[in-house]
Amino acid sequence: MCFCILTTQIPPYPATIFHREKERERGKGMPPLPVTISRTTVLLLILCLISSSNADPTYISHVCPNTTTYTPNSTYQTNLNLLLSSLSSSATASDGFYNITTGKTPNIVYGLFLCQGNVTNDVCRDCVQTASKDILLRCPNEKVATTWYDECMLRYSNQSIFSVVQQLPGIYMWKSHNISNQSRFNQVLADTMDDLATRASSSNQTITKFAVGEANFTTSQKVYSLAQCTPDLSGSDCNRCLQGAIEALPSCCGGKQGGRVILPSCNLRYEMYPFYRIEAVPLVPSPSPSPLSPPPPSNRTSTTGDETGAPGPSPSPPPPLPPPPRNRTITPGTYRSNSTYAYRDIFLSRPCHGS
């Protein structure tokens, strides 16, 4: 990361900065010691600042059901390109969510994007623009596709996806590091997530349907959590989606220092470090759970797990699948991992609109 303080103009000559040292015993000051900063150095600082502020969105995963495809250069492709262009251009002034329909039956396309509730407009715009381009490369000729990034989600379909709870397909993500005192941690996490689900789906959150919270785990550790729904859902549907995601946490991420359940209509996340911009969101601490015995000091784990840079254990095996919706079959996707998370995609055997 680079930090620099820049003036409005770069001087045509080296800028001289004077440093004064302590006065001598007789009160006389040392002569100034000039330190020069060349124009090249200033330009490098500018480039460093620009590159650090324009980081690429962090790709997570994508889903292409591969059940229906369109013909290249068809009317559906034209409508899809118009839709993606509209989503991309609307990302800055959309409060983080936007949906649109292009074309007419049988070539109608429904699309939307959802940015994380407290990212800046610029981050939201960059993510949606990236997703709009990449999804065509990841899901060529597909009529239905979803892609997720840390900063946003983008979806399109040939069926209506507006104001409809869709809980699959989705993604489980969990940290490799285990947490100490799992009984207390599970209670803290459950209480926090229930509170976030209530606040995100409440009537005063209709614009964003987004909530964050933090709760004390030990005297020196906190759990930071986030919950979010697509704002087109009703309060009851948002709460239903989040409760389904919360129910998946034990099988997905039980006993882990971090975990995420990412679904088309909602998502939640918890970590042992603040991963969201606290200053941008009215933060209400989650209710404290009933006290339990503190964890033994010898079993304490690092607060930030992988973020400390310490080597961790091998990724844990994939968790069991959640129970499928009625008359549906859930199929596990590819299990994979990196230095921070293990992943598994969860699919239905057929489209699950209204599940």
Give the model's confidence band at 51: pLDDT under 50 very low, under 70 low, under 90 confident, else very high: very low
Residue 252 is predicted with a pLDDT of 85
The yes-or-no verdict on residue 131 having pLDDT over 70 is yes
Give the model's confidence band at 33: pLDDT under 50 very low, under 70 low, under 90 confident, else very high: low
| Cα maximum dimension of the chain | 92
Residue 54 is predicted with a pLDDT of 60
Compare 284 and 4 and report the one with higher pLDDT: 284
The yes-or-no verdict on residue 36 having pLDDT over 80 is no
The yes-or-no verdict on residue 250 having pLDDT over 70 is yes
What is the reported pTM? 0.70
Query: Cα dihedral sign for 305, 310, 315, 316?
Result: negative
- Interstrand relation of 109-115 and 97-102 (parallel, antiparallel or unpaired): antiparallel
Residue 2 is predicted with a pLDDT of 39
Nearest residue to 271 via CA among 173, 205, 339, 338: 173
Return the domain boundaries, the chain. 15-53, 59-157, 170-342
Range of lowest pLDDT (30-34, 247-251, 275-279): 30-34
The yes-or-no verdict on residue 325 having pLDDT over 50 is no
Instruction: Give pLDDT tens digits for 155-192.
Output: 999 999 999 999 888 899 999 889 988 999 999 999 99
Q: Where are the beta strands (DSSP E) in the chain?
A: 15-19, 33-37, 59-63, 97-102, 109-115, 145-149, 152-157, 170-175, 210-216, 222-229, 259-262, 266-271, 330-337, 341-348
**Equal CATH topology for 59-157 and 170-342:** yes
**Mean pLDDT within 248-274:** 93
DSSP 289: P
The yes-or-no verdict on residue 125 having pLDDT over 70 is yes
The yes-or-no verdict on residue 203 having pLDDT over 80 is no
The yes-or-no verdict on residue 4 having pLDDT over 50 is no
Q: What token pair was written down for 277? A: 């911009």
What would the CATH number be for the domain defined by 59-157? Answer: 3.30.430.20
Compare 82 and 311 and report the one with higher pLDDT: 82
In whole numbers, what is the pLDDT of the chain averaged over residues?
75
Give the model's confidence band at 16: pLDDT under 50 very low, under 70 low, under 90 confident, else very high: very low
The yes-or-no verdict on residue 93 having pLDDT over 80 is no
Give the model's confidence band at 285: pLDDT under 50 very low, under 70 low, under 90 confident, else very high: low
Q: What token pair was written down for 44? A: 């490098």
| C-beta separation of 188 from 200 below 8 A | no
Q: Distance between CA 50 and CA 30 in Å, rounded?
A: 38
Q: What is the CA radius of gyration of the chain?
A: 25
Residue 18 is predicted with a pLDDT of 37
Residue 136 is predicted with a pLDDT of 97
Residue 184 is predicted with a pLDDT of 92
Compare 306 and 116 and report the one with higher pLDDT: 116
CATH homologous superfamily for the domain 170-342: Gnk2 domain, C-X8-C-X2-C motif (3.30.430.20)
Q: Distance between CA 114 and CA 252 in Å, rounded?
A: 23
If you search the block for the tokens 């940015």, which residue do you land on? 115
For residue 335, the one-letter residue type is Y
Residue 315 is predicted with a pLDDT of 40
The yes-or-no verdict on residue 72 having pLDDT over 50 is yes
- 235, with CB counted inside 10 A (0-12, 13-18, 19+), is middle
**Mean pLDDT within 252-263:** 92
The yes-or-no verdict on residue 322 having pLDDT over 50 is no
Percent of the chain with pLDDT over 90: 52
**Mean pLDDT within 289-313:** 37
If you search the block for the tokens 């492709």, which residue do you land on? 77
Residue 29 is predicted with a pLDDT of 52
Q: What letters, b where the CB count within 10 A reaches 16 and e where it falls short, cover 6-40?
A: eeeeeeeeeeeeeeeeeeeeeeeeeeeeeeeeeee
The yes-or-no verdict on residue 295 having pLDDT over 60 is no
**Mean pLDDT within 206-211:** 83
